Amino acid sequence: MSENETKEYWRWKEYNWKNPDIPDWRGSMVTAGVDVGSTSSQAVIMVDGQLYAFSNMRTGSDSPSSAIDAINWAMEGTGLALEDISFTVGTGYGRVNVPFANKAVTEIACHARGANFMYGPTVRTLLDMGGQDCKAIHCDERGKVTSFLMNDKCAAGTGRGMEVFANLLAVPIEEVGDMSLSVEEEPAPVSSTCVVFAKTEATGLLRAGWSKEKVLAAYCSAMASRVVSLLERNGMEKDFAITGGIAKNSGVVKRIERILGIEALKPNYDTQIAGALGGALFAKALAEKSNKGKIAGR
Amino acid sequence: MITVGIDSGNRNTKAVVLKDGQVVGKALILTGFDANESAGQAYELALKAAQVSPEEVVAVVSTGVGRNEVKFAQEIITEIGSAAKGARYFVPTVNTIIDLGAEEGRAIKLTADGKIADFASNEKCAAGAGSFVESMARALQTAPEEMGPLSMKYTKEVPMNAQCVVFAESEVVSLIHQKTPKEDIARAVHDGVSNRVSSMVRRVGLLDDLALIGGPGRNRGLVQSLKDDLQKEIKVPEDPDYVSALGAALYAMEIA
Amino acid sequence: MIANHGYKDGSGEYYISIDTDKCSLCAEHGCLDGCPGQVFEIEFDDWDEEVATVRARERNKLKQICAACKPVSGRLVRLPCQIACGSEAITHSW
């Protein structure tokens, strides 16, 4: 297993962030969304509907403690305590195991809502490429889902599949994208969809003298055409945006754009927080609806 | 009359030498980078085992995924065709064949006179094939051949949710962390493969006379899971990995 | 909303699509007993409407579960789940 290997090429940076433009939360309504995914977890805190703080970390061995760790890290240095948050929505794979959440909402609904905030109301098609799943979502101008499709059965087209390749080629995961774009001529995509077979194929290509860059290009390109087929099945309409960890991989993003002939909207936020952000937005709406929207710090 | 059948698989290359319809020699080697070269090596080894010189061979037929690479074969036969011929040789009444390889699996239904009625196959997803068990053995830090005996000693059914080799590896690791006995994990692994294989059998229609061929047929744990799943007796030839090569050699007899 | 439950793997696309706008108006829920593989259940969606969905633990094995209703030869034009659904809300991708 990769966890036992001496060098961990798959590892990405965990961090937290606080909005410097919001000096204080006291006197405002504070809501939160916690997205416990299979691979990564995020907590987003909003103050009166504005992004205030978030954390992004790797999911631990169980969902409840991952949720607690994520929210604590997001609250770090803000002076906030759990009781200051008027409403929390849990989402993601571990959504029913967020001990302090007031409600669980599916990640599909949260992603659409979060993307509507991140990219604006013109976004219609969303591709979320997560650690162990891939989602295609079509939504309306309010961020409400009109159709969706999710694939969490197969590692092809997921962050996990990319991690397998990063380990195989001993390339840090955050460098995969740029390396794959450094090839002079685009090679044919890896032909196997299955990650296991693609790995065998890649080993053969390396043996045949291909450079790491070329093999990565062939894999990123295969991943791109695979996810595009999911988008096309679900309905593809402009504007288009990509979220999730793989959205940070320029090698996959550029190739998706090339196949579709459409540029993805450029993110102003971390692409991994879309689900948690949507959760915090749902939390705000639900808090107002149920009149639980107490004002923090009073 | 002497004929040879060669089965060029993803993992192993097998050769069987037939003399007047009786097996007189066989060989199995790992398939190397060059499938034709591996086929040549298996061919020579099998002839040596049979104490036969190349001049005595009347016809060579190749089958398997690399069948077109075997340049010295006079004729080729599909994996389906060779599986049907080979399985019928061992079990003359067989009407449903499960043919499992390292990287592919198929279910074949035969008519009463041995013709192919229907087949379903999977060669695009590693989860329904023999190498799934090997990958899980690695995650369990166990030798692949230990998986069967371990599985036979299971005491509790443990659900395994992952359907993909990559995700199943992590699931096995977390089962180990939860102190699940290796025996129960091994059984869960075989049940998983068995579910996927059984669905192919149900697609072609399950009849009574069932045979399992291919290397994974040596894994008693897998055979047991399949029996429990399909609720049928399953016949496994003594050397299940050679059945397709034998089928090719039988076809060579027909065309010679 | 069109909810596509299932997956795509190396061997193909296996999605059961449910048109929840049609489905939310249904009171009979024929899909529950109409499917021999029992893949459907009724849930409250994120907008508190009662809709059919594919059970979470079955979503990754649809190819296997539906195999019995989809023989290699002689497949029915309409599957048992489609016959059982009075709202015509269910379609299969394969």
pLDDT at C11: 87
Judge if A100 and A138 occupy the same domain: no
pLDDT in tens, B78-88: 999 999 999 99
Can you tell me the mean pLDDT for B115-138? Answer: 92
Phi and psi (nearest 5°) for C57?
A: -75, -10
State the complex-level ipTM: 0.89
Six-digit token string for C79: 């599957």
Whether B161 and C57 lie within 8 Å, measured CB to CB? yes
Residue A205 domain flag: yes
Whether A154 and C15 lie within 8 Å, measured CB to CB? no
Whether C73 and B196 lie within 8 Å, measured CB to CB? no
Question: Predicted confidence band at A296 (pLDDT cuts at 50, 70, 90)?
Answer: low
Residue A249 domain flag: yes
Mean pLDDT of the residues in chain B: 95
Distances (CA, A) of A200 to A205, A206, B101, C36: 9, 10, 16, 38
Mutation pick from B203, B204, B206 vs chain C, by most beta carbons of C within 10 Å, is B203
pLDDT at A3: 42
Q: What percent of chain A has pLDDT over 90?
A: 87
* Structural domain that includes position A190: 124-264
Which residue type does A173 have?
A: I
Mutation pick from C2, C8, C18, C21 vs chain A, by most beta carbons of A within 10 Å, is C8
Residue A297 domain flag: no
pLDDT at A10: 77
Instruction: Kindly list the residues from chain C whose CB atom is less than 8 angstroms away from the CB atom of residue A147.
Output: 1-4
Is the four-CA dihedral A2, A3, A9, A12 of positive or negative sign? positive
| Statement: residue B127 has pLDDT above 50 | yes
Q: How many domains does chain C have?
A: 1
Q: Which of B123, B163, B200 is closest, CB to CB, to C60?
A: B163
- DSSP classification of residue A190: P
**Quick check: A156 contacting C, CB < 8 Å?**
yes
Q: Which of C8, C10, C93 is closest, CB to CB, to A192?
A: C10
Instruction: Find the residue in C nearest to B199 (Cα).
Output: C64
Whether A194 and C15 lie within 8 Å, measured CB to CB? no
| Statement: residue A254 has pLDDT above 50 | yes
Question: Predicted confidence band at B58 (pLDDT cuts at 50, 70, 90)?
Answer: very high
C-alpha B110/C-alpha B190 separation (Å) is 26
pLDDT in tens, A132-154: 999 999 999 999 999 999 999 99
Q: Which of A106, A109, A154 is closest, CB to CB, to C7?
A: A154
Instruction: Kindly list the residues from chain A whose CB atom is less than 8 angstroms away from the CB atom of residue B170.
Output: 1
Question: Predicted confidence band at A6 (pLDDT cuts at 50, 70, 90)?
Answer: low
Residue A298 domain flag: no
Instruction: Kindly list the residues from chain C whose CB atom is less than 8 angstroms away from the CB atom of residue B125.
Output: 9-11
**Quick check: C15 contacting A, CB < 8 Å?**
yes
Instruction: Kindly list the residues from chain B whose CB atom is less than 8 angstroms away from the CB atom of residue C70.
Output: 203
Mean pLDDT of the residues in chain A: 92
Residue A222 domain flag: yes
- H or E, element range at C19: strand C12-19
| Statement: residue B176 has pLDDT above 70 | yes
pLDDT by 10s per residue, chain C, length 94: 999 999 999 888 999 999 999 999 999 999 999 999 999 999 998 888 899 999 998 999 999 999 989 998 888 889 999 999 999 999 999 9
Q: Which of C67, C70, C73 is closest, CB to CB, to B118?
A: C73
Instruction: Find the residue in A nearest to B140 (Cα).
Output: A1
Superfamily grouping for domain B1-91+241-256:
ATPase, nucleotide binding domain (3.30.420.40)
Residue A294 domain flag: no
pLDDT at A295: 67
pLDDT in tens, B206-221: 888 999 999 999 999 9
Closest CA to C38 of C60, C18, C24, C55: C55
**Quick check: A203 contacting B, CB < 8 Å?**
no
What top-level class would CATH report for the domain B92-236? Answer: alpha beta
pLDDT at A1: 38
Whether B165 and A161 lie within 8 Å, measured CB to CB? no
Q: Which of B125, B139, B166 is closest, CB to CB, to A161?
A: B166
Judge if A223 and A99 occupy the same domain: no
Task: Read off the CATH number of the domain in which A155 is found.
Answer: 3.30.420.40
In chain B, count H helices and then E strands: 8, 10
| Statement: residue A12 has pLDDT above 90 | no
pLDDT at A2: 41
**Quick check: C10 contacting A, CB < 8 Å?**
yes
Question: Predicted confidence band at A5 (pLDDT cuts at 50, 70, 90)?
Answer: very low
Question: Predicted confidence band at A290 (pLDDT cuts at 50, 70, 90)?
Answer: confident
Q: Domain residues of chain B, as ranges? A: 1-91+241-256, 92-236
**Tokens 């890896």 belong to which residue?**
A190
C-alpha A205/C-alpha A260 separation (Å) is 27
* Structural domain that includes position C40: 2-92
**Tokens 């398997």 belong to which residue?**
B64
Which residue type does B26 have?
A: K
Chains that touch C (3 or more CB pairs under 8 A): A, B
Judge if A16 and A102 occupy the same domain: yes
pLDDT in tens, A50-94: 999 999 999 998 899 999 999 999 999 999 999 999 999 999 989
pLDDT at A4: 40
Instruction: Kindly list the residues from chain A whose CB atom is less than 8 angstroms away from the CB atom of residue C12.
Output: none
Residues 4-23 of A with CB under 8 A from C: none
